[in-house]
Structure 1
Amino acid sequence: MNTTVEQSVRALLDERLALGGFSGAAVAVSVDGETVVELEVGVKASVDANGDRVGADAGEPVTRDTRFDLASVTKLASAHTILSLVRDGALDLDEPLGVKLPAYRAGAKKQVTLRHLLTHTSGLPASWHGWEQPLLDHLAHRPADAPPLAATPFDDREALLAGLLETPLASAPGEHFRYSDAGYNTAMALAESVTGVPWERLVTERTLRPLGLEADLAFGAPAEASVATEYDTRFGRGLLRGVVHDETAWVFGGRGASAGLFGTAAGLLALAEALRVGGGEILGEWMWAPQLGRMLGAGRERDTPSGYDHSLGPRIGQLNMMGRNGWNVRGHTGFTGTSLQTDRDAGISIALLTNRVHPSRHGAGISGLRGMLADAVYVATGRADPEAMKNPLPPELW
């Protein structure tokens, strides 16, 4: 382990832990393919199943095997899975979805393609909420003393997916970049429809197993092996531990394309390294090449909320998470407080896992941590650009 890098990383994590940004965190860093840092801080939960505070001396420490809810970092595995179907000829990036999905055969939806979905340029809204009122109605009929919902009360996945596919566009395809969980879950519905194979099996067989990630990344996790996320009161779910935080993914049985995977820091770092090393069309080209100029028109390559470009899956150059050396870095964030980034030029990959939504999504948070962590790693490894480091770090949006 590189002592200088570890000291820099630990100082940042300890500071945020003390401020209440999370109860636990894990970081893994590699340089030129060699893991130089693996460290963990904090505990898996600061409140128990009743929402009561856990004493500092009674908390379960985060360890190297601890699982975190990856949230939207799941989209990278989802993109790889979808693109494997493109590689094998089952799907086409530029074929209108309506060729295979009847719900996309009318109006502006006739123009939507898989490439639109994977680059968040389809015109779909950010989220699909068709599950929300039925869930609230279900809760209204439950006894007041009923235990927390351990699993989704909806058992008809096909009906849920049909509702998702009826989601109207918020704008014309290719008109705007709009980050959309609904878009990735639509890609999932397309993949399941074409193959007849459940999403979890597709991701396992086409991404996790071939990339050697199956032992470290999976949908859901044993509660005792996981950090807790939110203590949910609105939807009657109680303390979420080993169960996906994202409500839409939960409604889909915890198996979504927008969220659902849990993993260790080492597993997430291995995914980052697979992307850095590349090889083959999917990792070497499709998940690396910039796309927004093509999708939105020349000159709009970074026409996104925080000025980043996008490939078929990863974000490109999101400086507020990737740091001041991040213009050519690929990666993704997750709402629960996770992120992955990798840099082919510098040979650096970073996996950050926290539970910043514990016990509430409205807590202290991790504002600025991702970018500062990246800066610290680049400086400590001697791979920072001195000119880039003179610039102010853009504010963190998550």
Structure 2
Amino acid sequence: MSTTIEQAVRALLDERLALGGFSAAAVAVAVDGETVLELEVGVKASVDENGERIDPDACAPVTRDTMFDLASITKLASAHTILSLVQAGVLDLDEPITAKLPSYRSDAKQRVTLRHLLTHTSGLPASWHGWEQPLLQHLESRPADAPPLAATPFDDREALLADLLATPLVAAPGEHFRYSDAGYNTMMALAEAVTGEPWESLVTGRTLRPLGLDGALSFGAPAQASVATEYDTRFGRGLMRGAVHDETAWVLGGRGASAGLFGTAGGLLALGEALRTGRGEILGEWMWEPQLGRMLGPGRERDTPSGYDHSLGPRIGQLNMMGRSGWNVRGHTGFTGTSVQTDREKGISIALLTNRVHPTRHGAGISGLRGTLADAVYVATGRADAEAMTRPLPPELW
């Protein structure tokens, strides 16, 4: 089985690598709790700090311990962290967050709950852009020959979070599903306000360490241990390597609830396996059970852009990511070209890491790779849904 899976996965990765979809990729697969594949292809970076192409013979290859920017997969760890505070009685899933956040004591915002935020049904917009104009103004004041920004130029994180919390709703809570980074970062601001602890400490102490992931997943990573992401010219960051790609998380110091975690394929697979085995109330129930029917009303369980349902954190049955056999699979994607998925019924977990935004987010990309790779794994294990495999995969956004 392992040989068959490796042959199928390697062929898919090599094809996309040749097309320029990424410079680096790593895949890890577990079947019935046993890791049957760990595979890496490509190089950590194809351009240097000046944006110049690196001689292929001088490129550093991807290895088993190479770290990738997980992007929005961070939301799974964030959800677990928030739910641990619910389990401890510090927060409540269905109490309006205005009870803890005074800035939410106005208009429809006073109805927003943690359950809304976890399921992207709060009515908040996709993103918060309060940082963007101040950053552009800062860049205008810098000398033309100034070095790239290695870190956020903003030192008042509380002021940034206050601006985030002032973000108006664009719909009433519970009216629509709208994927929202702003919603997850609102939960982060709430958790920090209630506990008095910084977000990194909360995630490490309540999620990474208890799940045995401390070190395998982390906020940021050493540059030389990481694959490069985008060569940024708009916000003065240059080549991003070991620093989070997501602009909002970077502005907030690299520690966000929407993005910020880095990890190896093996570390990400361990997170998927923790969700599959479902130890305890958080992983076993809250992060597994469907929620959108409850939040939006009966019959709207898959009222999302790609027709998937949602639990308190993971997506459910996102076929363009999870493959044609993935109707009951849980997981998440990341903008940088990452994904993790897990299937309790068929005992399969898959972690896919790429840097599809290197050296630019406008490159060949990996459209369709996630679902096709999942299909290949299910076929190789003999656990594919034969009828479903006759249908086309839905298109993927990126």
Structure 1 residue 201 and structure 2 residue 204: aligned? no
The alpha carbon displacement at 1:144 in A equals 0.1
Task: Provide the rounded CA distance (Å) in 2 between the counterparts of 1:28 and 1:156.
Answer: 39
The alpha carbon displacement at 1:339 in A equals 0.2
The alpha carbon displacement at 1:379 in A equals 0.2
Structure 1 residue 39 and structure 2 residue 39: aligned? yes
Q: Which amino acid in the other structure matches residue 354 of structure 1?
A: T
Task: Provide the rounded CA distance (Å) in 2 between the counterparts of 1:20 and 1:86.
Answer: 44
Question: Secondary structure at the residue paired with 2:259?
Answer: coil
The alpha carbon displacement at 1:176 in A equals 0.3
Alignment deviations for residues 359-395 of structure 1 (CA, whole Å, 9 cap, x no partner): 0000000000000000000000111111111111111
The alpha carbon displacement at 1:58 in A equals 1.1
- Equivalent residue runs for 1:27-66 within 5 Å: 27-66=27-66
Structure 1 residue 151 and structure 2 residue 166: aligned? no
Aligned twin of 1:240: 240
Task: Provide the rounded CA distance (Å) in 1 between the counterparts of 2:238 and 2:132.
Answer: 17
Aligned twin of 2:294: 294
Task: Provide the rounded CA distance (Å) in 2 between the counterparts of 1:99 and 1:35.
Answer: 45
Aligned twin of 1:84: 84
Q: Which amino acid in the other structure matches residue 338 of structure 2?
A: T
Task: Provide the rounded CA distance (Å) in 2 between the counterparts of 1:73 and 1:89.
Answer: 26
- Equivalent residue runs for 1:306-317 within 5 Å: 306-317=306-317
Q: Which amino acid in the other structure matches residue 125 of structure 1?
A: P
Aligned twin of 1:73: 73
Task: Provide the rounded CA distance (Å) in 1 between the counterparts of 2:260 and 2:201.
Answer: 13
Task: Provide the rounded CA distance (Å) in 2 between the counterparts of 1:262 and 1:215.
Answer: 10
Question: Secondary structure at the residue paired with 1:342?
Answer: strand
- Equivalent residue runs for 1:205-244 within 5 Å: 205-244=205-244
Task: Provide the rounded CA distance (Å) in 2 between the counterparts of 1:20 and 1:142.
Answer: 34
Task: Provide the rounded CA distance (Å) in 2 between the counterparts of 1:152 and 1:198.
Answer: 17
Aligned twin of 1:265: 265
The alpha carbon displacement at 1:125 in A equals 0.2
Question: Secondary structure at the residue paired with 1:149?
Answer: coil
Alignment deviations for residues 19-60 of structure 1 (CA, whole Å, 9 cap, x no partner): 000000000000000000000000000000000001111110
Task: Provide the rounded CA distance (Å) in 2 between the counterparts of 1:360 and 1:107.
Answer: 41
Alignment deviations for residues 172-213 of structure 1 (CA, whole Å, 9 cap, x no partner): 000000000000000000000000000000000000000000
| Unpaired stretches in structure 2, ≥5 consecutive residues | none
Aligned twin of 1:169: 169
Structure 1 residue 303 and structure 2 residue 303: aligned? yes
Task: Provide the rounded CA distance (Å) in 2 between the counterparts of 1:134 and 1:93.
Answer: 34
The alpha carbon displacement at 1:396 in A equals 1.4
Aligned twin of 1:321: 321
Task: Provide the rounded CA distance (Å) in 1 between the counterparts of 2:184 and 2:393.
Answer: 30
Task: Provide the rounded CA distance (Å) in 2 between the counterparts of 1:190 and 1:215.
Answer: 26
Task: Provide the rounded CA distance (Å) in 2 between the counterparts of 1:57 and 1:383.
Answer: 40
Aligned twin of 2:362: 362
Q: Which amino acid in the other structure matches residue 303 of structure 2?
A: D
Structure 1 residue 396 and structure 2 residue 390: aligned? no
Q: Which amino acid in the other structure matches residue 293 of structure 1?
A: G
Task: Provide the rounded CA distance (Å) in 1 between the counterparts of 2:154 and 2:20.
Answer: 35
Question: Secondary structure at the residue paired with 1:57?
Answer: helix
Aligned twin of 1:341: 341
Aligned twin of 1:98: 98
Q: Which amino acid in the other structure matches residue 107 of structure 2?
A: G
The alpha carbon displacement at 1:397 in A equals 1.6
TM-score, normalising length: structure 2? 1.00
TM-score, normalising length: structure 1? 1.00
Task: Provide the rounded CA distance (Å) in 2 between the counterparts of 1:317 and 1:55.
Answer: 42
Alignment deviations for residues 210-263 of structure 1 (CA, whole Å, 9 cap, x no partner): 000002000000000000000000000000000000000000000000000000
Task: Provide the rounded CA distance (Å) in 2 between the counterparts of 1:122 and 1:133.
Answer: 25
Task: Provide the rounded CA distance (Å) in 2 between the counterparts of 1:209 and 1:34.
Answer: 22
Question: Secondary structure at the residue paired with 2:35?
Answer: strand
Task: Provide the rounded CA distance (Å) in 1 between the counterparts of 2:163 and 2:66.
Answer: 35
Alignment deviations for residues 299-330 of structure 1 (CA, whole Å, 9 cap, x no partner): 00000001000000000000000000000000
Task: Provide the rounded CA distance (Å) in 1 between the counterparts of 2:385 and 2:263.
Answer: 32
Alignment deviations for residues 73-106 of structure 1 (CA, whole Å, 9 cap, x no partner): 0000000000000000000000001100011111
Q: Percent identity, aligned pairs only?
A: 85
Task: Provide the rounded CA distance (Å) in 1 between the counterparts of 2:395 and 2:166.
Answer: 36
The number of aligned residues is: 398
Task: Provide the rounded CA distance (Å) in 2 between the counterparts of 1:118 and 1:177.
Answer: 11
Q: Which amino acid in the other structure matches residue 246 of structure 1?
A: D
Alignment deviations for residues 271-295 of structure 1 (CA, whole Å, 9 cap, x no partner): 0000000021100000000000000
Structure 1 residue 121 and structure 2 residue 136: aligned? no
